[in-house]
Amino acid sequence: MVDDGAPPPPADDHPLRVAVVGAGPAGIYAADALTRQSEVPVAVDLVDRLPTPFGLVRHGIAPDHPKMRAIRDTLHRSLDHPLVRFVGNVEVGTELALDDLRAHVDAVVYTYGAALDRHLGIEGEDLPGSLAATDLVAWYTGHPDADRATVEAALSGVRRAVVIGVGNVALDVGRILARTAEELEPTDMPQHVIDVLAAAPVEEVTVLGRRGPAQATFTTQELRELGELAAGTVLVDPADLELDDETEARAAADRNATRNLAVLRDWSAHEPEPGRTRLRLRFYSRPVRLLGTDRVTGVEVERTAVDGDGRAIGTGEFEVLPADLVVRSVGYLGTPLPGLPVDGRTGTVAHDGVGRVLRDGHPSAGEYVAGWIKRGPTGVVGHNKHDARETVAALLADAADGTLAVRGPVDDLVRTLQARGAEPVLLDDWRAIDAAEQALGARRGRARTTLHERESLLAAVREAAARAR
C-alpha cells in the first residue's frame, strides 16, 4: 500500500516490462529467471490476488512440514531483487482487467496455478461432511478464502474419516487428521485450526486408492512421515501388497514405487494398538457412493483390479466403510481468468509446448504460461523452476528477435491501481504482515502464527504504515 514511486529501476531507459500473474513458486522462479540474465533489460511486477506471496508454499504445503515450508526463505531472495516488485491484493480479471494489465506491460506470464478440485461424480458427494481436499487444506493453512464454517462443521465430532486419493496431498490430509494436539501446537497454523483439530475425536483415518500400491503417486518421503505419528499406527493389508510378476517387474524399474513398496511391506505387520489412532492405507478400492441423509455416514466402495493398461476395473465386490468425514483428493484444475481461456478437461492454458500462449491455435504475442496452469498439477515445488526457465527462455527469444516489442514507459501500474481506490500490497507491506505473524507466534512460543483473514492481513499493513508516519 505504501507508494514506493516508479517501477523498479530499469537496466536502461526502456526495459522490457513483464507482469507475472501469480506469486507462488512458478511466478517467483519466473521472476528470478528474468532477472538473472543480462541480455535483455527487464522490470518485473509480480502480481497476486492475495496480500501475501508464496502461493502453495504458504497455502498448500502442510504446516507440519517446516522444512518444506522453509522453501519460502529461498523464494524471498527473489522478491528482494531491485528489478522485481511484489504487487499483492490485486485480482487480475476483476480489479484489473486483463486487457488493462497488458496495456501497462510488454509481456504477461500467467503462473497462477490450479485452485479448483476435481469431483468424484458419485452419489452423495455434496452431503455435509464431504469436503474437497482443497477446502480442508485452505482452512488448515490459513488461506483468506477458506470456508471456516463449512469445514469446522464437517470436522465436528468426527471419529472416522476417509480420504479418497493416494497422492501427497491425500497423505498430508490423513496425517494432519491423525496428529495429536501436542504435535500441532508448534506449527504456524491459525489458533482456531489447532483448537478444532485438537477437539476432533478422530480414531481412524482410511486413505483409499483406486489402484494398487505400485501405482500410487505419493513420494516415499511423504509416505514415511506417516510412520512418525506420535499416537498413530499405520495399517496396511498384506493382501494389497501381493503383486503379479508383471506389476512387480514394473515396480522394480520405478525407484519411487520400489521404495514405497518396501515401506508398505514393513508396515503390513502392524496391528491396531489401543489408544492409538488407526491410519489405514487401502488399495484397490473405488468409491461408488457416499451414504447418509443429513450428513455423511459412510462410503460404499467397490474392490478393483488393475488391467494391463494400468486402469482400475471393478470386480463387483462391494463394502461399506463407516465415515463421519470424507475428503476427496483426486486432483486440481486451473480456472480461467476473464479473457484467458482454459481447457475445461485439462485445466490448463493452451500453449506451444514451451510456454507461449496459443489463441485460435496461434501464439499470442506477449502472453506466456508457467507452472500448473501450463503443465497441469504435477510434480513437486522444485519442478516449477525448470518449467519457469523454459517459459522465460521462450519470452527472451521473442524479445531478441523482435517478436516481443519493448514499447517504452506508460503509466505506473501501482499508481494506476491506487488512483482507482485499490490497495495494492507491496514488499514493505508484506514485511509488516510477516512481522505481525511472527509476533503473534512468539506469544505462544512458535516461530509464527498465520493470520487467516484478509482484513487481519491488511490491518497489519495499515498499522505499520501508521507507525511509520
The tens digit of pLDDT for each residue in 261-312 reads 999 999 999 999 999 999 999 999 999 999 999 999 999 999 999 998 889 9
Candidates 385, 377, 384, 333; CA nearest to 116 is 333
Question: Would the pLDDT of 148 be above 70?
Answer: yes
For the chain, percent of residues with pLDDT exceeding 90: 80
Closest listed residue to residue 334, CA positions, set 36, 111, 35: 111
How high is the pLDDT of residue 53? 96
Mean pLDDT computed over 69-82: 85
First-to-last C-alpha distance (Å) of the chain: 13
| Under 8 Å between Cβ of 134 and 350 | no
12 vs 14: CA distance, rounded Å: 6
pLDDT tens, residue by residue, 392-432? 999 999 999 999 988 766 778 999 999 999 999 999 999 99
Query: Which position has the higher pLDDT, 376 or 431?
Result: 431
Cell of 127: 452431503
Predicted confidence band at 9 (pLDDT cuts at 50, 70, 90)?
A: very low
Q: Which of 417, 407, 343 is nearest to 373 (CA)?
A: 343
Percent of the chain with pLDDT strictly greater than 70: 96
What per-residue confidence (pLDDT) applies to 382? 76
Maximum alpha-carbon separation in the chain: 72
pLDDT of residue 409: 63
At residue 114 the predicted structure's pLDDT band, cuts being 50, 70 and 90, is confident
Instruction: Report d(CA 42, CA 12) in Å as an integer.
Output: 9
Q: Is the pLDDT of residue 70 over 80?
A: no
pLDDT at position 6 is 46
Residue (of 199, 213, 138, 145) closest to 169 by Cα position: 138
Q: What is the pLDDT at residue 21?
A: 97
| Mean of pLDDT over the chain | 92
Residues ≥6 apart with Cβ < 8 Å to 214: 243, 247, 248, 250, 251, 254, 257, 260, 261
Mean pLDDT for 211-233 is 96
The pLDDT tens digits for 320-338 are 999 999 999 998 778 888 9
**For the ranges 99-108, 257-266, 351-360, 380-389, which has the lowest average pLDDT?**
380-389
Residue 407, pLDDT score: 79
**CA nearest 197: which of 240, 255, 149, 152?**
152
pLDDT of residue 13: 60
- Residue (of 221, 343, 201) closest to 277 by Cα position: 201
Q: How confident is the model at residue 74 (pLDDT cuts 50, 70, 90)?
A: confident
pLDDT of residue 185: 96
* Res 162 pLDDT > 90: yes
Q: Any idea how long the chain is?
A: 469
Cβ-contact 254, 243 below 8 angstroms:
no
Q: Ramachandran region of residue 329, left (φ > 0), alpha (ψ -120 to 50) or beta?
A: beta
DSSP 144-159: TT--HHHHHHHHTT--
Q: Which amino acid is at 92?
A: V
d(CA 301, CA 206): 12
Give the cell for residue 306: 488393475
Which of residues 117 and 107 earns the better pLDDT score? 107
So what's the pLDDT on residue 4? Answer: 52
